A and B are shown apart, each in its own frame.
Chain A
Amino acid sequence: MPASPPAEAPDRYADLIRQLDGANDGAAMERLLTDAQALAYRFSLLVCGHAEDAEDAMQDALLQTYKNARRIRQPRGFRTWLYRTVKNACLMSRRTKAQQMTRMASLDADDAPEVPAGDPDPEAQTAAALERRRFQAAFRQLPRPYRLVAFLRDVEGLSTREAADVMGITEANVKQRLHRARQMLKDALA
């Protein structure tokens, strides 16, 4: 049962960035803008836990990506830049909202739509959806620093180095927080 380093998510962002000055310029930019918004949506739901802020974060991620995508000198650095940007957009959006409203809204499990399961058996689909919701609820109960690290590493597949870069902490800290997050999740689901 050999252990192996977690496979890093393939960096298709780097490929898209490289295409920005080529013939596929428009298509590559459209793909980047779409992905940036989808990431902002996932981040809003899973890390911030506020579905009502998702559209603001998506809008911000869209504009920031559009303004800066061509300025990124290192295509491989785009992914961490994007996650950092989305993180800031989501957290900033929440802060602004919190100043405007005194009420604290929390994300209801029903706000989180899911990708339909591939299993054609309706009972299996229902069971999988319930399991996923239970997990998402446990995930949102994690303290934010732990939620963020679990999101970057285990949900999105960033490497330890990339997660450290996005969060502005050391790799050792990322590892420590990730292990603690997994422990808390396991306990919550026991």
Chain B
Amino acid sequence: MSRRRADEHCDISLLHWSQYLDGEFSTAACRRCEAHLAECPACRARLRDVRHTVRACRTAGRIALPQEVRSRARKRTQALLAGKAKGR
């Protein structure tokens, strides 16, 4: 990352911080990113946004099977395994 403006006019994209968060940069590039973050509130906010989005994805994925769906899934599994045991 070349030297960039570190103010509200900084034009580093969200994509850049998304890549940073995914560990796509070299160690040297990460160091430059961190130096930039230290002095650029706009980029700190962008990075915070990406982190928030990724965290929200993880939380949104915590979907529990409703009791009746879980119960049917268990019955299907047991029926299949019982059929296999009978067939032995």
Q: Does the CB pair B57–A150 fall under 8 Å?
A: yes
Q: Which residue of B lies closest to A182 (CB)?
A: B53
Tally of B interface residues using CB under 8 Å: 41
Check A37 against B62 for contact (C-beta < 8 Å): no
Interface check A5, CB cutoff 8 A: yes
Q: Is A143 an interface residue (CB 8 A)?
A: no
Cβ B73 vs Cβ A34 within 8 A: yes
Asked if residues A183 and B77 are in contact (CB atoms below 8 Å), the reply is no
Secondary structure class of chain B's binding surface, majority of residues? helix
Interface size of A by CB at 8 A reads 50
For residue B14, CB closer than 8 A to chain A, the reply is yes
Minimum CB–CB distance from B86 to chain A (whole Å) comes to 13
The residues of B with any CB-CB pair to A shorter than 8 Å are: 14-15, 18-25, 30, 33-34, 37, 47, 49-50, 52-54, 56-66, 69, 72-74, 76-78, 80-81, 84
A-B contact pairs, 12 of them (CB 8 A): A3-B21, A3-B30, A3-B33, A6-B23, A29-B81, A30-B78, A30-B81, A46-B63, A66-B84, A113-B66, A155-B60, A182-B18
